[in-house]
Amino acid sequence: MPIKTSGPLALIADIEAEFPQGANNVSLAQAGVDAGLNAGDLGMFEFYGLSNITEYATHWLVAAGGGSGGYGYSGAGGYRTSFGTSGGGAGPESQITLTIGSTYTITVGAANNNSSLSGSGISTITSIAGGVSGTPSGISGTGNGATGGSGGGAYKDSDNRREGASGGAGTAGQGYNGGGLYGRRLHIPGGGGAGGAGASTSGTNASGAGGAGVTSSITGGNVPYARGQGNNITTVPNKGDGGQNGVVILRVPTSLEGTASGASRTTTGSDTVFTWTSNGSYTA
């Protein structure tokens, strides 16, 4: 709305008109920062017209469902984020710009399924499901791991001969390879993770560690995501670990937050964090 040319400023009513927060309190200083104003002392006149804000930048995290199946250790779901390190050793991706009033679709992959974030004005963000572990076949009893966000580990269960098998490849920018093998009898290499490859095995009767995940503080605390299955890891739901479902997270300025369907809501500092562990939506 325009600056008044006469009469007193109706502080509470005028501010609520510009920032319809409902029960969510926002300081003038924080509102100014969110609106792109310079930090420091603020005059009331600076807030008039800010209801014309039409979009805002948002941090995000998208982890796919981990691989599940085969005979051994499967890979983690692909892991992409704008908040810290992405999978496969990649750096952070760019924040997305959300348009106020637009609705965005959140798809959270169960095990063996992709996760995605899509909507008007943004390029769809898709993380690829983790690769499944190997299935033994033939006289050698070996099986290669499948490709995925992070690759599945190979597998072998035959005494007949010394053989090798390959771990599945991870997806660039999302995760690492699964572990391979060379040896006799039972071999169960580790599944790949977002932060490291699954351990390969050799010799006779061996199992391998799962690939490390990536730790993120997007929710305010340090949480590991997208770890591969292995003899060193107990995977957990809602993080993109091998054999488990994925997760999608948005971190938005509290003073500009919209409405989420199907998500949990927490706050950290001046931001609100929405976490989806099943399909839903967000209206900016």
Q: Where are the domains of the chain?
A: 11-52, 55-129+212-283, 142-207
CA 218 to CA 278: how far, in whole Å?
18
pLDDT digits (tens, 9 = 90+) for 46-67: 555 555 789 999 999 999 999 9
Percent of the chain past pLDDT 70, that is, above it, reads 82
CA 233 to CA 14: how far, in whole Å?
54
State the pTM of this model: 0.83
Buried b (16+ CB within 10 A) or exposed e, 249-266: bbbbbbbbbbebeebeee
pLDDT digits (tens, 9 = 90+) for 97-122: 999 999 999 999 999 999 999 999 99
Q: What is the mean pLDDT of residues 88-93?
A: 98
pLDDT digits (tens, 9 = 90+) for 191-213: 999 999 999 999 889 999 999 99
User: What is the per-residue pLDDT for 17?
Assistant: 53
pLDDT digits (tens, 9 = 90+) for 253-274: 999 999 999 999 999 999 999 9
